[in-house]
Structure 1
Amino acid sequence: MIRIAIPADQGHDPYGFAARNHARTIMAAADAFSKAVYRDSILTLREFEGGRSRIAQINGCIICQQFRAARDASAMFAATGQRADHLVIDNGPAPDEAFYAEVESWREAKVFSDRERLAIEFAERFAQEPKVLAQDEEYWTRAHALFSDAEIVDLSHCVAAWIGLGRIAHVLGFDSICMPFASAD
């Protein structure tokens, strides 16, 4: 259920209506942050999608759970009239549906590389237990063995964007309407 008043003729795009009519500067900054994540991340597409998909599950965002970067990211930019010369979808092979099906059971699943598993673990723990994660020296030893500092900072900002913006979409009910760029599976 959408939690703010949206005129009937704008009901197809509640997020767009909110962006044009409420907290415009903040929403423009949020849009720029979100787009930067998809445009500028140095993570592989599978690492990116593993973390993104886990956050979508935790947040409960319907659109985010159905979104597939390889399929939908270009259309997301096109829907806003923007063109990106590079997107994270250029950073390696796309995950298949078996990959997405295993994200929630990442600890036992056999489809993930060590880096993909660590990215999913980071996303989950960042969302659910940030204080514990910050102090977990064993985790940070594993992270530094597999990721550069630049990749850790990149992943951290990606996860922050997904948590914050996905939760806004879910809590305000914007995810109850399928966005034009997110096609259902």
Structure 2
Amino acid sequence: MSRIGDFAGSAENELAGWIVQSPEIGTAMAGFAHTVYNNNRLPMRVRELARIVIAHDNECAVCINTRDADGPAAGVDEELYQHADQWRTWSGYSEQERIAAEFAHRFATEHTKLRDDEGFWERARPLFSDELMADLALSCAMWVGMGRMLRTLDIGQTCHLTLPSRA
């Protein structure tokens, strides 16, 4: 049960209902989320693996259960999600996906150690341009913040979302 508001009805009502509690900030956050999902330069598999790793770190059920409608066309299958906790070792991830997962996990759990880890940055540099790293970092910022807000306020934790297709 949500800690703020009574958002009875559909899952979409519950997930969007919190915005009315803070319309200006909530609307801006919705715009940020829209941009992360629709204007991101990361390959979708890289983006989705980073997102699902943070979803697990946040223990956010709605984030864990979210899928992108365009995912299958971009090579995002259920195996990508099912092995997210094994990002270090599962052979189905590319090196770029693995670096994105490591960045996401450490961004969510040990950001200052990540900042100072020269070995990580040496491994990431050949796989991520500055522009892609900016997209990854900004996306992680949105996922950490939104996931923790949704989890803390117990909003949408029984929802299964499919992000709309961009076509």
Aligned match of 1:125 = 106
Equivalents in 2 of 1:131, 1:151: separation in Å? 20
Aligned 8 A contact 2:50 2:104 in 1: yes
Q: Which amino acid aligns with 1:24?
A: P
Conservation of the 8 A alpha-carbon contact between 1:12 and 1:177: no
- Relative to 1, partners in 2 of residues 1:61 and 1:33: Cα closer, same or farther, differing over 3 Å? same
Inter-CA distance 137–180: structure 2 relative to 1 (3 Å threshold): closer
Question: Which 5+ residue runs of structure 2 have no aligned equivalent?
Answer: none
What is the aligned length?
A: 163
Q: Cα distance 1:124–1:24, how it changes in 2: closer, same or farther (>3 A)?
A: same
CA shift, 1:96, in A, is 1.3
TM-score (norm 1): 0.80
CA displacement at 1:10 relative to structure 2: 8.1
- Measure, in 2, the Cα distance between the counterparts of 1:7 and 1:112: 38
Query: Which letter maps to 1:3?
Result: R
| Alignment RMSD (CA, Å) | 2.2
* Deviations 1:145-179 (CA, angstroms, capped at 9, x unpaired): 21100000010001111110111111111123426
TM-score, normalised with respect to structure 2? 0.88
Distance 1:174 1:47 in 2: 26
- Secondary structure at 1:175's aligned position in 2? coil
Contact 1:13–1:177 (Cα < 8 Å) also in 2: no
8 Å CA contact 2:42, 2:135 repeated in 1? yes
The 2-side partners of 1:131 and 1:43 are apart by 23
Structure 1: give runs of 5+ residues left out of the alignment.
Answer: 74-88
Q: Does structure 2 conserve the Cα–Cα contact (< 8 Å) formed by 1:13 and 1:179?
A: no
Identity %: 33
Match of 1:95 among 76, 81, 85: 76
Deviations 1:110-152 (A, max 9, x none): 0000000000000000000001000000101111121100000
